Amino acid sequence: MGEHTVTSFDEDLDHLDRLVRDMSELGAAMVQAATRSLIGSDNALAQRVLSDDALMDARQRELDEAAIRLIAKRQPMAQDLRAVVGAIRMAADLERIGDLAKNIAKRVAAVGAGGTPRNLAHSLEAMSDLVLDQIHGTIEAYVGRDAAALEARRDDDENIDIHYTSVFRELLTYMMEDPRNITTCTHLLFCAKNLERIGDHVTNIAENAYYVVTGSLLPLHRPKRDETTPAD
């Protein structure tokens, strides 16, 4: 992004970038803490995730207000306008990531003191690691204005879908083997789906960031390998 004659214009745009980064860091921390609380039956950690959701909402409001002020004051055009609108869209997806992490944390108490079976815990943790890598990598590519990396990150969502399908089948196996597992596994199934949905939101962020950087849209159809739902 080129520098402007009015230095404060660049500062306003940089402020939006910082808010996007701050929201992404908070979102990643919430996802990590929610997964840890689920696997370790840590209700205190789960409560912290619930509290952090209010902070995420506040940061989105701060970004929206800053973007509105910038539009009113600077009347941005072309690349600058893309950056502002892109930041608003990315913030909306980051806020949803916080909501989905909160949904995982809400199920910690329901899973109970028995916690998550070891094999399932490993699978869910591995899926969470993929999602966290996707969040960090996408924001890093956005900050670096790396269009090629953003396109690659968008396509990486396929790996999360494949892992989700594997976890889904594993959970079904546990339920069929012993009906006493059904309640716990149903909660874990919702948690795995929330992680998969977080991956979708990160994909949206990568697409919006790519548009900010290049002014072009990525192809509408993207890799999608969630085999637990019927194809359209």
Query: Looking at residue 216, what is its pLDDT?
Result: 94
Asked whether the beta carbons of 124 and 189 are under 8 A apart, the reply is no
Q: What is the pTM of this model?
A: 0.90
Note the pLDDT tens digit of each residue in 51-74: 999 999 999 999 999 999 999 998
Q: 3-state SS string over 70-115?
A: HHHHHCCCHHHHHHHHHHHHHHHHHHHHHHHHHHHHHCHHHHCCCC
Q: Which residue has the higher pLDDT, 220 or 101?
A: 101
Q: Could you give the percent of the chain with pLDDT greater than 70?
A: 91
Q: Is residue 16 part of a domain?
A: yes
Instruction: Determine, yes or no, domain membership for 229.
Output: no
Domain span at residue 50 reads 7-214
pLDDT category, 115, cuts 50, 70, 90? low
pLDDT at 229: 62
In a domain, 230, yes or no: no
Give, in degrees to the nearest 5, the angle at Cα 223 between 221 and 226. 115
Residue range 121-139: mean pLDDT, rounded: 96
Query: 10 Å Cβ neighbour count for 133?
Result: 16
CATH label of the domain that carries residue 130: 1.20.58.220
Q: What is the pLDDT of residues 153-183, one digit of tens each?
A: 999 999 999 999 999 999 999 999 999 889 9
Residue 232 lies in a domain: no
Residue 224 pLDDT > 80: no
CA distance 50 to 118: 25
What is the count of structural domains for the chain? 1
Say whether pLDDT at 6 is over 80.
no
In a domain? residue 119: yes
Q: 221 in a domain, yes or no?
A: no
- In-domain check, residue 91: yes
Let me know if residue 2 belongs to a domain. no
